[in-house]
Every structure is written in C-alpha cells, then in structure tokens.
Amino acid sequence: MPSHKNIKDGWFRETTALWPGQAMSLQVQEILHHEKSLFQDVLVFKSTNHGNVLVLDGVIQATEWDEFSYQEMIAHLPLMAHKNPKNILVIGGGDGGVLREIVKHPEVESVTLVEIDEAVIRVSKQFLPDMAKGFYHPKVTVVVGDGFKYLKDNVGAFDVIITDSSDPVGPADVLFGEGFYALMKKSLKTGGIVCTQGECQWLHLPLIKQVLESSRLLYPTVAYAWASVPTYPCGNMGFILCCNEEGRDLSRPLRIFPPEKEETRYYTAEVHAAAFVLPAFTRKGLGLP
C-alpha cells in the first residue's frame, strides 16, 4: 500500500491543531489517490466500513457513509428559508455534493460553483461519483478560482450564497473574515441568504461568536444552526445563516419537498426547525439570551 503521514497500521488518524488532543480514526482498506495539489494535500482512501473518504491537508472532508447530512443541511436550510431561490452561488464544495442537493429545488434556475482547487473536483468525479453527480446537471456552471475574488466581480447577482469551505487554515482562511461576509452581502439580491460552514460548537465557540458578532454588524438577520455528522470533529457541524432582510425567521422552511419524492435522507421540515435550537452551553458561549 502507498504511504501517507496520517495512515499507520492500516488506520487513518485525523490530527490537527484545530482540535488538539483528539483524533477521529477510520480503518483503511486501500489508498485510492494521493497528490500534492497547488493548494493542499489531497488524499482519497477506501475505508473498511464508511465508503470512500476525501481528506484535504489531513482533515476529513466527506465520507460516502455520512456526507448526506452535511450536504443536505448546508443546501436546504438556506434554500427552504428563501421565498424564491433562483440564482445560487457555491464557494468551495469541490466534491459536488452541495450541487447535487441544490438542483433538487425546481425553483433554481442557475448554480455557479467556484472551487479554488481543480484537483478536488477531478478526484471527486473519479472516486466520489454519488457526490460528484451534481457537476453534470445542466443548471450548473463550474469556475476554478478563488471565491473571494469571484464575489468582487459579481455584485447583486445571487439569491443564496453557500460557502462549503474547508477549515480556516490555508486557502479557506479568508472565508471566515469580516471582509468576506461584507463581499457576500454585496453579491446578494434583496431578500438574499448566505449559509456558511460554521465549525463545531464543542470546539470553536469563540471563533463562532466572533463570526456571528461581525455578521450582525452587516446583516439584520443572523442565526446559527447545527447538524449531526459523525465523521466531523465531535460529530457536530454548525451553519451560520445571514439574511439581508430584517425580521426573517430562518428556522421556518417556506416550502417542503413532496413526501412521495423522498428527496432527502436527513433533512425534513422538522429537522430544519430543530437545527436552530441550541444547547444551553452554546447559547451562553455565544452570548445569546
């Protein structure tokens, strides 16, 4: 088997300074791909129980086993909270899973995905076909480039912007700053909603608090939601939602998927509302009443 610094004795171990003293481990059946792209270390391995796994710079991005909960929630929370989402932008998201979810909405007319690293798109098409099928939908346009720069050139263009980024180190660092939220606001149409990967309430409350507070200076409506994603740190992933319209309740879905179509495996209208209910320690840590 080829070697990788995070794989020892047949186990992948996710160690990073972002969650010191803990490490998610997955048993490896086979390394399928490893390269150093222009931006990051890109690894795909076949796990013994959780399907193929995409890892960037040593951090698990998606497993075929549990990816649906994250992809569905980051896509359907903002789209279902929007009155009429027609033009959608995804920043990051190079595995294609968020695209797969967005195109389930018949109201959507166009989706643009801006991913900085072509290697992520290429290996996802090869090794994560159920996620990457989103790339082949006729409403989808893919741009390989920096999402931050792309926003500067596309003012007032989108109903929903979804930032499916990696963690705030490396190329994704700029995607957590105040400047990025200000740029996204300029790129929204009236009534527009942004939804960003909001890290983990068990590990990153100070960072989440800082992003929420700076967002509130820009957007009249800001909310935090979360979902269970077993292979993310602490099995928990948050979402930061901001709307440029005052008085909006983003926890209330404005439409539902027809039950007979069985469009989702995690998301339901009840899960949507429940995702915005925060535990007491989270409310306290975020300075919420």
CA atoms within 13 A on the CB side of 68: 11
243 closest CA partner among 46, 80, 81, 32:
81
Q: Which of 115, 162, 211, 238 is the binder for ligand SAM (CB under 6 A)?
A: 115
> Cα(66)–Cα(93) distance, rounded to whole angstroms?
16
Q: Which is nearer to ligand SAM, 159 or 167 (CB)?
A: 167
CA atoms within 13 A on the CB side of 238: 24
Residues between 164 and 193 with contacts to ligand SAM, criterion CB under 6 A: 164-166, 171-172, 174-175
Q: Which tokens is 116 given?
A: 């900085």
In angstroms, give the least distance from the CB of 174 to ligand SAM: 6
164 catalytic residue (yes or no): yes
- From residue 98, alpha-carbon distances to 2, 111, 142, 166, 208 in Å are 30, 10, 13, 14, 22
Residues 250 and 217 sit within 8 Å (Cβ to Cβ): no
197 binds ligand SAM (CB under 6 A): yes
63 binds ligand SAM (CB under 6 A): no
- What is the x/- site pattern for ligand SAM, positions 212-251, by CB under 6 A? ----------------------------------------
In angstroms, give the least distance from the CB of 258 to ligand SAM: 27
- From residue 150, alpha-carbon distances to 142, 144, 171, 192, 196 in Å are 12, 10, 14, 17, 16
In angstroms, give the least distance from the CB of 216 to ligand SAM: 23
Q: Is the dihedral of CA 280, 284, 285, 286 positive or negative?
A: positive
Residues between 70 and 99 with contacts to ligand SAM, criterion CB under 6 A: 70, 91-95
Q: Which of 6, 47, 52, 61 is the binder for ligand SAM (CB under 6 A)?
A: 61
Site for ligand SAM, rule CB under 6 A = 39, 56, 61-62, 70, 91-95, 114-117, 120, 146-148, 164-166, 171-172, 174-175, 197
